[in-house]
Structure 1
Amino acid sequence: MAGKRHRRGAALAAGAGVVALAAGLSGCTGPGGEDGGPDATFAVFAEAPRASGVAEGAFDGDEPGGSAPLAALADPGWLDRTAEATGIPRRALQGYAGAALVLAEQQPDCRVGWNTLAGIGWVESHHGTIFGGSIQPDGRTSDLIIGVALDGQGFQEIADTDGGAVDGDTEWDRAVGPMQFVPATWAAWATEGNGDGVPDIHNIDDASLSAAEYLCYSGRDDGGLGTEAGWRAAIAAYNESPAYLDEVLEYANRYAEESAAASADPTPAAG
């Protein structure tokens, strides 16, 4: 769950990821064991190829309707192969890859890979499919994904910051959307990605781009996400749990390997 750091200088609390939605669905264990640990290093930087005919700079989040939407940035063939190889829903993958391509242009020193965004997307909401939902063609989740109340009962305690406008709870904050932003962090980092001019916490394009910018900010003082220190700082800003870092790492590297293998041999296996 995106929480800890804030571009306007205020410190926000980190949270509990997908287990804040439903205890036990994720498990949040990885190669470092139940409590996380020294086996966790940092994820490889995987790049998505740009779609043919879509030039650098085609996406402009400040010009709704007048630019290429984020979901159109990645190569369609690569999306097909990678979605099949990894099991990531293609529409979710469009958001992750598009966000990474935008940040590669805007903040090339950040080096946030689509695979890191996908690792977070898996842990936070199973790519928008948790509770049986899906990412629809327009990028919105078919059902609202809203976590449990962060009331300190097994989770971080975060009193209401939005009057219930984002999460529907006027007493406690809750993590919201496929990338699980708490309301105050969303208020600081909400970014437009799909071209309609309105950042939507329930839209995978908007949420992925917001998450990518948040990660780049969180890891910049430690060298960006291309370094171990920067990657770990960025993931810790999203969620401080060592077990969370382990699981994001596991899935981010797995996705990168599966995508690379599929692109190296793009011919479908004979049935």
Structure 2
Amino acid sequence: MGGPRAEHGAPPAAEPEAAGEPLAAADPADAPAADPEWLARVAADTGIPKRALSAYASAALTLASEQPGCRLGWNMLAGIGSVESDHGRINGSRLLPSGQTTPRIIGVPLDGTRFIETPDTDGGAIDGDPEWDRAVGPMQFIPQTWEMFGRDGNGDGRVEIDQIDDAALSAAALLCDPGLDLTIGEHWIAALDGYNPSAAYNNDVADAAERYAQYG
């Protein structure tokens, strides 16, 4: 499939008094926040929980400011979130208003049976497994990658793999790390390969991202 044929850029940012709501209500870090009307419309049209969509949009807006040449679309993050955890809803989990996932989303041990063998790198501190690494959280980071790219997306002073704002911003940082323009197909593929080097995974994310791109 390659990459989305139409990669949308950052969603519209909220104005200080957009839709009658002060921008300060967005989050304690004063990170960029998407326009409330855009969030409501796109969440309704796509079925993405508004709490997850808000995290994807904020992360895209942040990277648009930090690395404008990356041109990361919110829909790429949403495609990853869809494939990795159904936006935090996989296996009965859900997103709390705080953005935390409950119960925690922890993948299978990476023992080589189904995925690339990855011996433990964190002593089980993040994933609870002292023998093998496991992917964790709504964006399914493995511990060693989280240590490299984990960021505080909601400004609470903590970097939490199970919190959707932190996870989405961290995913955005990983995708933009190579410094490529992600509206170019081969660059999109290369960035996603850095997230998960699987052609099937790339196709699944591309399908979801392309579907979401229709909605803004």
Structures share fold, TM-score greater than 0.5: yes
- The RMSD of aligned alpha carbons is 1.9
Q: Secondary structure at the match of 2:95?
A: coil
Q: Say whether the 8 Å CA contact 1:116–1:252 is kept in structure 2.
A: yes
Q: Which residue matches 1:105? A: 65
**Correspondences of 1:10-21 after superposition (within 5 Å):** none
Give how far 1:40 is off: 2.5
Q: Does 1:161 align with 2:118?
A: no
**Take 1:108 and 1:253, find their aligned partners in 2: how far apart are those partners?**
21
Instruction: Work out the CA distance in 2 between the residues paired with 1:69 and 1:205.
Output: 10
What residue in structure 1 maps to residue 54 of structure 2? 94
Is 1:243 aligned to residue 200 of structure 2? yes
TM-superposed deviation, 1:256: 1.2
Do the aligned residues in 1 keep the contact of 2:72 with 2:183 (CA within 8 Å)? yes
Structure 1 residue 245 displacement after superposition: 0.8
Residue in structure 1 matching 2:13, options 43, 46, 50: 50
Q: Which residue of 1 aligns with 2:20?
A: none
Code of the aligned partner of 2:80: I
Matched, 1:170 2:130: yes
1:110-189 equivalence runs, <5 A = 110-189=70-149
Distance 1:43 1:240 in 2: 20
Unaligned residue ranges in structure 1 (runs of 5+)? 1-38, 261-271
Q: Structure 2 CA distance, aligned partners of 1:172 and 1:235?
A: 23
Check 1:43–1:207 CA distance in 2 against 1; reply closer, same or farther (3 A cut): farther
- How far apart are 1:69 and its partner, in Å? 4.3
What is the letter of the counterpart of residue 224 of structure 1?
D
- Moved runs in structure 1, 4+ residues, more than 4 A? none
- Is 1:210 aligned with 2:163? no
User: 1:208-257, CA deviations, whole angstroms, 9 ceiling, x for partnerless residues?
Assistant: 00000100014x2xx32121121110011111111111111111010111
Residues 103, 213 of structure 1: 8 Å contact kept = yes
Asked whether the 8 Å contact 1:125–1:179 carries over to 2, the reply is: yes
8 Å CA contact 1:43, 1:116 repeated in 2: no
| TM superposition score normalised by structure 2 | 0.92
Is 1:42–1:232's contact at 8 Å kept on the other side of the alignment? no
Structure-2 residue corresponding to 1:22: none
Alignment-mate amino acid for residue 195 of structure 1: G
Cα 1:43/1:184, change in 2 over 3 Å: farther
Q: Following TM superposition, by how much is the alpha carbon of 1:44 offset from its aligned partner in structure 2, in angstroms?
A: 2.6
The answer to whether the 8 A contact 2:60-2:74 is kept is yes
- Equivalent residue of 1:83, what SS? helix
After superposition, the Cα gap between the structure-2 partners of 1:43 and 1:146, relative to the gap in structure 1 and judged at 3 Å, is farther
CA drift at 1:45 = 2.5
Offset at residue 135 of structure 1 (A): 1.1
**CA distance, structure 2, for counterparts of residue 154 and residue 210 of structure 1:** 25
Going from structure 1 to structure 2, the CA distance change for 1:163 and 1:127 (only over 3 Å counts) comes to same
What is the distance in 2 between the residues matched to 1:106 and 1:44? 22
How far residue 42 of structure 1 moved from its aligned partner, in angstroms, is: 3.5
